Amino acid sequence: MPTYNYDEMAGVLKQASRNEGVFEMEVTNEVVRDLAFMKQRLDKRSKTHDKQAILEIIRRIGLLQIDSINTVERSHYLVVLSRIGPYEKKNLDELLYPDRALFEQRSHANCFIPIESYPFYQPEIASRREAPIRKGKLEKLGRKPDAVLGRVLEDVREKGPLSSMDFESDGSRRGGWWNRKPEREALDILWKRGYLAVDRRKSFRCYYDLTERVIPNWLLKEKHSVDDFKRWTAINGLDAIGIGTVADIADYFRQKPAETRRVLAQLVEEGVATKIKVSGWKENAYALSKDLKLVDKLKKNPLDTCETTLLSPFDNLIWFRERTERLFGLRFRIEMYTPKSERTYGYYSMPILYDKQIIGKADPKADRRSKTLMINNIHLENEVTVDQNLVGELSRSLKEFARFNDCDSIRISKTTPSRLKSKLEEKMRGTKIKAKA
């Protein structure tokens, strides 16, 4: 993924487009899917599982969404698992601290991002300082918001990395993101505006320090504009998804579609990007010109298959629900925010990727006390054939998922179709889930 020298990157892409020729191509939905699997590193697993392999995956997909829900391992660990297989979770943690190979910032959501991308984010982060603090956040800061912000910043300056727990409570009962104490709100505001940076996480708790004590000085000195950042998001967003509409590309780094459309028009004029017609899509799409040869290759020789895996509900491949529906013909919605009585598939329903399709959803929960992976529900789409290969691949994925969640056994409550349950149980009967150290 191009993330280092912007001018050099743009020059290479422009020259590549001159060499290959820029033509408006027409492709099928299958080609778009195949390219997305390759771009997202879901076409084949990494041969290594070390720290460098994890970093290379994050660089390829651009950023890794962080989520606090721990029904099973948290989402950022699961996104990496789908791409490289079982690995040591501490290796991902250490990329943030002490390695400083990643930084954390608000992007698509709260995300881990390769550290070399920071110079492009810097003007965007700084521009947030010009925006007024929203009324709701001001109210949470109390009667003297400026004083709270100043005091929290000064405390971090004097004492070093602090978390919200390091500030004394005012005595009132608080809980949840909607009712946080003023200092917690202040830390969040100062972080989003670039005065503070996430120094590290301990048991998922954030510790903040001054930005200049977290981000390497040579990266802070590199200067770019907000326009550079918007151009960077369009190029890198497109490189991460392969082929996409304006809305697809804008969503990856949560940019405004109108601004992304303007940037894409410039990139097409320069030969960096090419307009693509996708059969069945209402809107035109785009691809980087450097990828045209690869697109042409996929038109002639489609991918044989992709990995069979349970995708995190927050996996980059399925971030934008409209795109997911276009690519896979499947409507996917997260149900954890839906009342229990109204859920169809389950609280933490994870899409099942198999044979280049999302064939259904599984709803797992790790019972950490009994070390049992509870599969509350597996629902396959009606047209999916339950054959020996599917049962084998799905059972392998479930066992891998159990091991990664430190579970010794798997218990399946129900499946649709119902016969899948007995077939999976028979396939997994007598097999060892967790290797003993």
Give the residues of the chain that fall short of pLDDT 50.
1-7, 9-10, 12-22, 171-178, 435-437
Q: Which residue from 88, 211, 236 is spatially nearest to 156, judged by alpha carbons? A: 211
* Bridge partners for 411 per DSSP: 374
Structure tokens at 29: 């939905």
Same domain, 163 and 205: yes
Same domain, 163 and 99: no
> Domain ends where: 215, 245, 270?
215
Looking at the domain assignment, is residue 92 inside a domain?
Answer: yes
pLDDT for 46: 87
Same domain, 200 and 143: yes
Tokens 């798997």 sit on residue: 410
Looking at the domain assignment, is residue 418 inside a domain?
Answer: yes
Same domain, 271 and 343: no
* Bridge partners for 286 per DSSP: 244, 275
pLDDT digits 0-9 by tens, 224-253: 999 999 999 999 999 999 999 999 999 999
The 10 Å Cβ neighbour count of residue 18 is 11
pLDDT for 179: 53
Q: Cis peptide leading into 339, omega within 30 of 0?
A: no
Looking at the domain assignment, is residue 189 inside a domain?
Answer: yes
pLDDT for 437: 35
Same domain, 105 and 57: yes
How far is C-alpha 12 from the chain's CA centre?
Answer: 27
Looking at the domain assignment, is residue 127 inside a domain?
Answer: no
Is residue 40 within 8 Å of residue 320, measured between CB atoms?
Answer: no
Same domain, 31 and 82: yes
> Domain ends where: 300, 324, 348?
300
Q: Are strands 243-244 and 285-288 parallel, antiparallel or unpaired?
A: antiparallel
Name the H helices within 48-171. 51-61, 75-84, 89-96, 118-127, 135-141, 145-159
Same domain, 188 and 229: no
pLDDT for 324: 96
| Dihedral over Cα of 113, 116, 120, 123: its sign | positive
Is residue 351 within 8 Å of residue 308, measured between CB atoms?
Answer: no
pLDDT for 16: 42
Q: What is the pTM of this model?
A: 0.92
| DSSP letter string, 143-201 | S-HHHHHHHHHHHHHHH-SB-GGGS---SS---SGGG--HHHHHHHHHHHTTSEEEEEE
Looking at the domain assignment, is residue 248 inside a domain?
Answer: yes
In whole angstroms, what is the distance from residue 275 CA to residue 30 CA? 17
Q: Which domain holds residue 350?
A: 333-428
Looking at the domain assignment, is residue 249 inside a domain?
Answer: yes
pLDDT for 414: 96
Same domain, 226 and 114: yes
Tally of domains in the chain: 3
In whole angstroms, what is the distance from residue 386 CA to residue 359 CA? 11
**What is the crossing angle of helices 388-404 and 419-428, to 10°?**
60
pLDDT for 8: 52
Q: Which residue from 213, 96, 99 is spatially nearest to 153, judged by alpha carbons? A: 213
Same domain, 358 and 394: yes
Looking at the domain assignment, is residue 383 inside a domain?
Answer: yes
Same domain, 287 and 365: no
Q: Measured between alpha carbons, how far is residue 136 from residues 35, 128, 185, 191, 245 in Å?
A: 42, 17, 10, 17, 34
Same domain, 242 and 95: yes
Looking at the domain assignment, is residue 306 inside a domain?
Answer: no
> Domain ends where: 200, 215, 230?
215
The 10 Å Cβ neighbour count of residue 355 is 13
In whole angstroms, what is the distance from residue 82 CA to residue 332 CA? 18
Q: Which residue from 152, 214, 143, 231 is spatially nearest to 187, judged by alpha carbons? A: 152
CATH number at residue 404: 3.40.630.30
pLDDT for 328: 95
In whole angstroms, what is the distance from residue 424 CA to residue 398 CA? 10
Instruction: Using DSSP, state whether 276 is helix, strand or coil.
Output: strand
Structure tokens at 179: 């009712």
Q: What is the dihedral angle through the alpha carbons of 155, 157, 160, 161, rounded to the nearest 10 degrees?
A: 80
Q: Cis peptide leading into 98, omega within 30 of 0?
A: yes
In whole angstroms, what is the distance from residue 208 CA to residue 150 CA? 15
Same domain, 108 and 61: yes
CATH number at residue 230: 1.10.10.10
pLDDT digits 0-9 by tens, 331-374: 888 889 899 989 999 999 999 999 999 999 999 999 999 999 99
Tell which phi-psi region holds residue 371, choosing left (phi > 0), alpha (psi between -120 and 50) or beta: left
Instruction: Using DSSP, state whether 376 is helix, strand or coil.
Output: strand
In whole angstroms, what is the distance from residue 437 CA to residue 172 CA? 46
Q: Which residue from 259, 258, 261 is spatially nearest to 273, judged by alpha carbons? A: 261
pLDDT for 331: 85
